[in-house]
Structure formats: structure tokens, C-alpha cells
């Protein structure tokens, strides 16, 4: 490059930090909880309004362990959660890149929507960093994969999916509480769940003018990894860093359930047809054996006998149509063990009703 242009380029770059090629932090740096912006201290994780992904969302690759020895008691839990967080963070990051303020106002949403999406994106970057910090240096910290979400540059679909993701996150965060070995991990999970709850409360009030509450309790689903596994649908096959552990670990890889034809609705009292939509992953039924559709809502579950011929059930009418209902196919009433779950989960968003219609 000509010296004159080099000087000009350098001068321009003084104001633009992106100009200089920045390399990824080393594993030792990432393992140092004092390295980089610190969640709860830096505004990067709250009010950064740039389009470029904030730290550590802009780093690539898995972060290798810098020490050897037994994993920390909750390393596996936070490895699973960090992989899930990459999916959630990237959803918001893609939204920040795809839309702007007018994209949302043109679609009839408040003029603060884009800013809020940026801020939630920032919070999620903070979660990436918090979960990295929770994984000991004896274990690998999973890195970013490539993701594809079904919002197709449509701001309405994006915001509907946003609400469903945030409301559903409560179910796996409460489930992960049951796996946590350390009290400090449980406290961290409650603090994260409360943050996701603020995200969905904002969305319900501002974007959907819907009741902000899910009744007296969000839905607890004990087999958190089954919900995490469901989010693999957004991960591009073969795109994850080779060093990433299998997500989630352990992975049952259950047949997914979709809402099938002949469904009259997804609210309590409606007829719901189960479609085992993956041609490869199908449940196998044994003649003469009993099967159940188990519906989780709030802290409880209700089982309904499942007819393997029609594959239709009536959603228990006594369930309050708020928050989410989670349905699974099980070979025991109440799906009392992880192994008794044969397919699913299917997440049914109840409120507002239009969320489900947008994805029907
Ligand atoms: C951790 O990072 C901080 C801030 O960059 C630095 O001052 C400190 O020396 C680092 N600690 C180690 C052990 O590298
Ligand atoms: C990542 O973003 C942070 C600010 O959020 C920036 O300081 C850092 O240089 C970026 N790193 C890379 C590798 O782009
Ligand atoms: C990382 O963990 C593996 C497996 O436990 C071990 O073999 C390796 O030595 C560790 N790496 C470092 C840098 O300690
Ligand atoms: C928002 O994006 C649209 C489409 O890319 C563009 O036409 C419009 O000028 C942008 N609005 C603002 C305020 O940047
Ligand atoms: C945003 O909308 C509010 C109320 O809907 C309005 O009072 C305010 O002026 C708007 N702000 C901008 C910057 O358009
Ligand atoms: C990803 O791989 C799974 C199984 O390996 C396959 O069923 C699925 O169709 C693939 N998805 C895409 C988008 O290629
Ligand atoms: C089940 O899902 C598959 C894949 O999406 C679809 O092709 C099929 O039409 C669905 N069947 C029913 C009965 O809903
Ligand atoms: C829908 O219900 C009708 C009447 O019960 C039945 O004949 C049909 O096979 C069902 N369709 C599917 C896809 O299950
Ligand atoms: C579902 O409810 C039944 C009855 O209260 C209970 O025995 C069972 O453990 C519950 N299932 C799960 C997975 O919590």
C-alpha cells in the first residue's frame, strides 16, 4: 500500500476499533474471570447498541481446558447451558443484524423494540461470559456453531419466536436446578431465570399487549436436556467446533413431536394430534402396552391415555391456558423417569394465542 494511503487508513482506524485485525483471546485469557468486560460491572452486557456481536459473542471456536484433572461438579451442566446460550445469543444477534428500529415500527410494534432486542442480546452475551466463568479450567468451554432460525427476516415471526424462546427457557432452567450439585450454581440459575422472565414479561406487555403473567408458577419440566435437545433443530448440521462436547450431554435424541393435521387447537380441551414428523426418529409401539400423553403445566403433570392408532388426545381441560404446556409421549403414567419419555417434548405456548398462530 502507498505510504500516503497507509497513513490515511491508519488515521481512519484510530476511530474504528474494527479496523485492526483482532485475534481471539487465548484459552488462558478466557479462563481468567477478570479478563474482558465483567458481567455486572460492564455496560457492554446491558446497553451496548452496536450491530457487531459483543464479547464473548464475537469469539470463535471452543475454549480448550488449560489444566487437567477432574471436572468441576457442575461443569457438565454449564457446558450444556453454554451451548444452549450460544443458540439464544445468536438468535438475538441475528435479529440485531436483520432488523432496525423502523422494521419493528413498520410492523406495528413500539419504537423501543429494536433497542430492547439489542439490550436483551447484550444480556445474553453476559450469560455467555457467566457460563464460561462457571466452567472450571479442567473442562472445555463449548464454542459457537452456525444457526438457522425460522423467522425469515419477518419481524413479527422474530418477535413471536423471541417470546416463545423466553417463556420456554423457564422450563429448562428450572429443570437444570434439579441437576445442579452446588448451591452457588442453583443461585446462579435462579438469577438467570429471573432475567429471562424479565425479557418475556417485557415482550408480553409491550409487543403483544397480553397479560404478563403465567399464573402462580411457570412450568417445571424435570428433564431439562430433552428441551435443550429440541433446540438442536436450529443448529446447522456439522457446524459446531470439533472440540465441543455433544449437546446436550447426555443426549437421548428422542423423536420430535409436531402438531399434526386433525388438531383442533392447542388450548386445554382441544384435540391435539401428535405428528412424529422426523421420518428417521420414530417411536416404536408394542401391541397391548399402554402409552400416555403427559402434559406438564405449572408444578404438576396430567396424563391422558394415548391411542396409538389415531395419535390424538384431548388436552386436559382443567389446565389454565397461561404460560406454556409441555407434552411428551411416555410409556408410564406421569413420565416418572427420563427413560419413560419416548418422544417430545412438544412446547405449546398458551398466551397470547396469536403466538401459536404465527407459527401454525
Ligand atoms: C487476569 O486478567 C486480569 C485483567 O486482564 C489481569 O490483570 C490478571 O493478571 C490476569 N490474571 C492472570 C492469572 O493471568
Ligand atoms: C470482541 O468485541 C469486543 C467488544 O465487545 C472487542 O473489544 C474485541 O476486540 C472483539 N474481539 C474480536 C476477536 O473481534
Ligand atoms: C485437557 O483435558 C484433557 C483430558 O482430561 C487432558 O488430557 C489435557 O492434558 C488437558 N489439557 C491441559 C492443557 O491440561
Ligand atoms: C432500516 O432498514 C431498511 C431496510 O434495510 C432501510 O431501508 C431503512 O433505511 C433502515 N432504517 C433506518 C432508520 O436505518
Ligand atoms: C416513541 O413512541 C412514543 C409513544 O408511542 C412517543 O411518545 C415517542 O415520541 C416516540 N419516540 C420517537 C423517537 O419516535
Ligand atoms: C441434520 O442431520 C440429521 C441427522 O443426521 C438429519 O435428520 C437432518 O435432516 C439434517 N438436517 C439438515 C438441515 O440437514
Ligand atoms: C407430519 O409432519 C411431516 C413433516 O413436517 C409432514 O410432511 C406431514 O404432512 C405431517 N403429517 C401430519 C398428519 O400432520
Ligand atoms: C383425521 O381424522 C379423520 C376422521 O377421524 C381420519 O379419517 C383421518 O385419517 C385423520 N387424518 C390424519 C392425518 O390422521
Ligand atoms: C407427574 O405427576 C405424578 C403424580 O403426581 C408424579 O408421580 C410424577 O413424578 C410426575 N412426573 C414428573 C416427571 O415429575
Tell me the per-residue pLDDT of 89-137, one tens digit each, with 9 for 90 and over. 999 999 999 999 999 999 999 999 999 999 999 999 999 999 999 999 9
* Closest residue to atom 1 of ligand 7, CA basis: 277
- Integer Rg of the chain from CA: 22
State how far the Cα of 234 lies from the Cα of 242, in Å rounded to an integer: 18
Q: Is the pLDDT of residue 253 over 70?
A: yes
Mean residue pLDDT across the chain: 93
Q: At what angle are helices 113-134 and 183-202 packed, to 10 degrees?
A: 170
At 6 the pLDDT is 41
**Nearest to 134, CA basis, from 85, 188, 86:** 188
- pTM of the predicted model, to two decimals? 0.93
* Closest residue to atom 1 of ligand 6, CA basis: 237
Please give the number of the atom of ligand 6 that sits closest to the Cα of 278: 7
262 C-beta closer than 6 A to ligand 8: yes
At 356 the pLDDT is 79
Query: Which residue spans within 127-190 are E strands per DSSP?
Result: none
Whole-number Å distance, alpha carbon 110 to ligand 5 midpoint, is 8
Residues with CB under 6 A from ligand 2: 22, 24, 44, 54-55, 58-59
283 C-beta closer than 6 A to ligand 7: no
Contact yes or no for 229/346 (Cβ under 8 A): no
Predicted confidence band of residue 353 (pLDDT cuts 50, 70, 90): confident
Predicted confidence band of residue 22 (pLDDT cuts 50, 70, 90): confident
35 C-beta closer than 6 A to ligand 1: yes
Contacts of 164 (CB under 8 A, 6+ apart): 347, 349, 355, 359
> What is the H or E stretch that residue 14 is in?
helix 3-14
Q: Is the pLDDT of residue 207 over 60?
A: yes
pLDDT in tens, 298-321: 999 999 999 999 999 999 999 999
Contact yes or no for 291/285 (Cβ under 8 A): yes
Mutational pocket test of ligand 4: of 50, 97, 103, 153, the residue with most ligand atoms within 8 Å of the beta carbon = 103
Mean pLDDT of 50-62: 97
Higher pLDDT among residues 355 and 201, named by residue: 201
**Which long-range CB contacts under 8 A does 215-218 form with residues at least 24 apart?**
215/298, 215/320, 215/322, 215/323, 216/298, 217/298, 217/299, 218/167, 218/170, 218/171, 218/174, 218/298, 218/323
- Terminal C-alpha separation, the chain: 56
At 167 the pLDDT is 87
260 C-beta closer than 6 A to ligand 7: yes
Mutational pocket test of ligand 9: of 175, 301, 302, the residue with most ligand atoms within 8 Å of the beta carbon = 301
Whole-number Å distance, alpha carbon 19 to ligand 4 midpoint, is 24
Count the neighbouring beta carbons within 10 Å of the beta carbon of residue 256. Answer: 18
* Closest residue to atom 14 of ligand 4, CA basis: 100
* Closest residue to atom 12 of ligand 3, CA basis: 67
pLDDT in tens, 165-199: 998 898 899 999 999 999 999 999 999 999 999 99
Tracing cell 432475567 back to the chain, one arrives at 195
Whole-number Å distance, alpha carbon 210 to ligand 2 midpoint, is 38
At 360 the pLDDT is 61
State how far the Cα of 33 lies from the Cα of 334, in Å rounded to an integer: 42
Q: Is the pLDDT of residue 4 over 50?
A: no
Amino acid at each position: 500500500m502507498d505510504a500516503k494511503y497507509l497513513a490515511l487508513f491508519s488515521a481512519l482506524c484510530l476511530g474504528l476499533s474494527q479496523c485492526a485485525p483482532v485475534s481471539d483471546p487465548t484459552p488462558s485469557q478466557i479462563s481468567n474471570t477478570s479478563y474482558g468486560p465483567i458481567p455486572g460491572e460492564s455496560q457492554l452486557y446491558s446497553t451496548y447498541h452496536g450491530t457487531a456481536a459483543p464479547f464473548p459473542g464475537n469469539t470463535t471456536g471452543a475454549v480448550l481446558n488449560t489444566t487437567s484433572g477432574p471436572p468441576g461438579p457442575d461443569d457438565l451442566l454449564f457446558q450444556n447451558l453454554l451451548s444452549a446460550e450460544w443458540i439464544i445469543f445468536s438468535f438475538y444477534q441475528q435479529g440485531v443484524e436483520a432488523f432496525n428500529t423502523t422494521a419493528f415500527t413498520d410492523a406495528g410494534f413500539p419504537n423501543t423494540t429494536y433497542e430492547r432486542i439489542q439490550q436483551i442480546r447484550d444480556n445474553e452475551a453476559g450469560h455467555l461470559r457467566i457460563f464460561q466463568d462457571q466452567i472450571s479450567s479442567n473442562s472445555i468451554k463449548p464454542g459457537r456453531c452456525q444457526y438457522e432460525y425460522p423467522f425469515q427476516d419477518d419481524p413479527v415471526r422474530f418477535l413471536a419466536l423471541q417470546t416463545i424462546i423466553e417463556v420456554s427457557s423457564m422450563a429448562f432452567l428450572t429443570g437444570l436446578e434439579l441437576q445442579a450439585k452446588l448451591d452457588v450454581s442453583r443461585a446462579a440459575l435462579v438469577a438467570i431465570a429471573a432475567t429471562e422472565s424479565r425479557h418475556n414479561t417485557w415482550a408480553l406487555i409491550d409487543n403483544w399487549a397480553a397479560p404478563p403473567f403465567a399464573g402462580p408458577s411457570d412450568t417445571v419440566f424435570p428433564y431439562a436436556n430433552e428441551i435443550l435437545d429440541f433446540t438442536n433443530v436450529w443448529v446447522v448440521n456439522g457446524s459446531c467446533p470439533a472440540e465441543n462436547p455433544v449437546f446436550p450431554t447426555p443426549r437421548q435424541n428422542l423423536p420430535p413431536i409436531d402438531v399434526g393435521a386433525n388438531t383442533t387447537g392447542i388450548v386445554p380441551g382441544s384435540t391435539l394430534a401428535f405428528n412424529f414428523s422426523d421420518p428417521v426418529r420414530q417411536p416404536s409401539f408394542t401391541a397391548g402396552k399402554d402409552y400416555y400423553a403427559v402434559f406438564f403445566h405449572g408444578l404438576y403433570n396430567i396424563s391422558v391415555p394415548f391411542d396409538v392408532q389415531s395419535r390424538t388426545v384431548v388436552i386436559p381441560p382443567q389446565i389454565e391456558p397461561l404460560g406454556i404446556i409441555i407434552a411428551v409421549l411416555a410409556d408410564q403414567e406421569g413420565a416418572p423417569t427420563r427413560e419413560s419419555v419416548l418422544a417430545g417434548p412438544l412446547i405449546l405456548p398458551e398466551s397470547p394465542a396469536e403466538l401459536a398462530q404465527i407459527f401454525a
